[in-house]
Structure 1
Amino acid sequence: MGAIRPGADADVPSRGPAPFRQVDLDWLPWNHVMGGNGVFNVILSLGLSLYIDDGKPVGEQFSKTIRNLRDISPISYTNAPAGFASLAAALEGDDELCRSFFKNLKVMTYGGARLPDDVYARVQALAVKTTGQRIVFTTTYGTTETAPAATMSHWNAERVGLIGLPCPGVELKLLPVTDGKYEVRIKSIAVTPGYQKLPDLTEAAFDEEGFYKIGDLVEFAKYDRPAEGLIFAGRLLEDFKLLSGTFVLVGVLPVDAITAAIPLISDALVAGQDRDEVGLLAWPHLEACRSFIGDRTATIEEIVGNREIRGAIRWGIHSHDEACGNAGSRRIERVLLLSDPPSIDHNEITDKGYINQRALTRRSAAVDRLYADPVTSDVIIIPRQADFQHNAAEKRNVGQGRNGGTRLS
């Protein structure tokens, strides 16, 4: 299936000369509209020298990106939230890498999901430590069908999750859904006119007024001040209900879990449709977990079964659940760590490094194991406060890790 890109033969608009060193490093594939249209055209319009990063924000492939960042000091850096989490872990404690990364950097951009607050704070703290100032950290929002950006936070917002305001020429339609959240639909000359040779799919993709039904939820940063922008609030089609009828907003939970267990979880899938409680299938962050237990050679299988790692994740998610109170839609009751990475070939992860929630279909056996009764030994059960007992030593070990250098809070 291919989305037709409007203006494919249009001239690249001039943005004037770049006021800083004209070097950039990027890994996004050119066959994708973000890499080919959103990044490569900017390289051409600014007259930059592009170094192609052969790494990806997936597992050990990210080590190639770190190697490249030691040699190339880019003027901008774009990645998925999981990539920034891996980058923060690599930068911490490596002053030489920090100096190379921040040397010419003017702006950082993330997309595809909300960036965890902790990752944002850690990267900015490293920027201040290295350069004496914070770096502009922004995001755009869109899809292949919107070629690629429909909205952008074009100001230096000191918060994450903000997708900003419509780009010039873009019109948004907001349809109320629930609790201050709206389904967003998009109309613009940049939106695809349809899918090649797929008239039925094309017709289903647009409403009666010609707005593209992107399938996402947004909310206002401040309802009475819409100029302060919109916040991404999840995927309309991915949200589900528990057996109790409680509506679960899938889009926010993976970020909550990653933040709660930082830096030990790199990404997660949310399970629980037609079940009693929410659960997670989670991928450990290999390098962060190795640092946490003080073993740089530990395999992913050893990490998945490691008692310290499992205890730290249990404590982190428990703290998240306590903060949620009685909100059953946000409480995570069980976690299963996965040893095999998400598969691009099976569409579990996009070519931009974003986890596809629909990967649960392929992971149905893992979901069954997550909810098996009796509980299997590889499932981490998150206890309620009344049942959760721990001593000061256990909490200290969870907070520091074996090597004393990795923090979980």
Structure 2
Amino acid sequence: MKTTAAALTGGKPDWEVMEFDLDEPGVGEVLVRMKVAGLCHSDEHLQHLGLPMTFIGGHEGAGVVEAVGPGVTGLDIGDHVACSWIPSCGVCRFCVRGQGNLCDLGANMMTGELANGGYRFHRDGEDVGAIAATGTFARHAVLDQRSVVKVDKDIPWEWISLVTCGVATGWGAVVNAGKVVAGDAVAIYGCGGIGANAVSAAVQANADIVAVIDPVQSKRTFAEKLGADAVYATADHAQADMWERTHGVGVDVAVVTVGVVTSDIIRSAFDLTRKGGAVVLVGVADDATEETLQLSSSMLTLYGKRVIGTLYGDCNPRADIPQLLRMAKHGKLDLDSLITRRYSLDQINNGFRDMLSGENIRGLIIHDD
């Protein structure tokens, strides 16, 4: 079949909407008609790689199953599904230990190759990969059944899309990785699509102080609406005031969710963290080879601090995606407020520009039926 998708091609930095050939689903695979896709900074990082090949973007999204391949279990035509950008096989050593976010099937996440091998998108006779083997910037995509999570049909498409990356990652960074408990002091660097959910999680965990550092005034205002106790435009301002608020102790947990992580941000978070505290790293640098973790090993040891990297907020997608959606249905999680703007697929470059300029908490691509 033919479908359209937004892709990077020929080393160009902007997304292009073009037509692709798409295979029928193979063994253990499903054809999904995408309804909503989220604009996440992880996709924007691809624009800096100068990829020589064509590569389809989008890893946050939701859709409806339109066809199932041989051997598919638990999924039928018409089912509503969330796209999990890390597949979860349920049987590898990581999955059976509750670490579905580290499933071995995620090994080809950046090549776009499906878990069963090979590619399902093609253009001009060439194979085309899709980020995380999902490709939610496509109107249709073939996904491995282990990359989708069935959800209730009465849940809004936009909610489903939101929880597949930004919500799960931000929430999990606080609850799962940071293990924030009542009475903790928490500093969150960045209040975008991930950081905003980290704020909500810290507030619901009854943290004593929730501080947010973000240079964008509108995001600081949004953080206050979510329940943040203190907001700062710079890390230096946070450093001075939070030491006073914590009586010279420092914060229990610092969560770094900024779109582009630098050594300065990590060092600021480390310095603000108390003895025995933790720095949780969510974001990445534009250049994956850049060594941004430059800290004093003596201070790490003598003060017993921890630096924790977290992927997908240490979530188990098959358990946590439905749980977060149940919380939203029961009024325990406000997802609608995260949506800043909606775009058509043709407006995708406008959406990423709005994100980089700080105008969006989360922008969404609404696919045409």
| Class of the TM-score when normalised by the shorter of the 2 chains | under 0.3
Give the TM-score, by structure 2 length: 0.27
Give the TM-score, by structure 1 length: 0.26
Higher strand share: 2
Higher relative CO (Cα under 8 Å, sequence separation at least 6) belongs to 2
Larger radius of gyration: 1
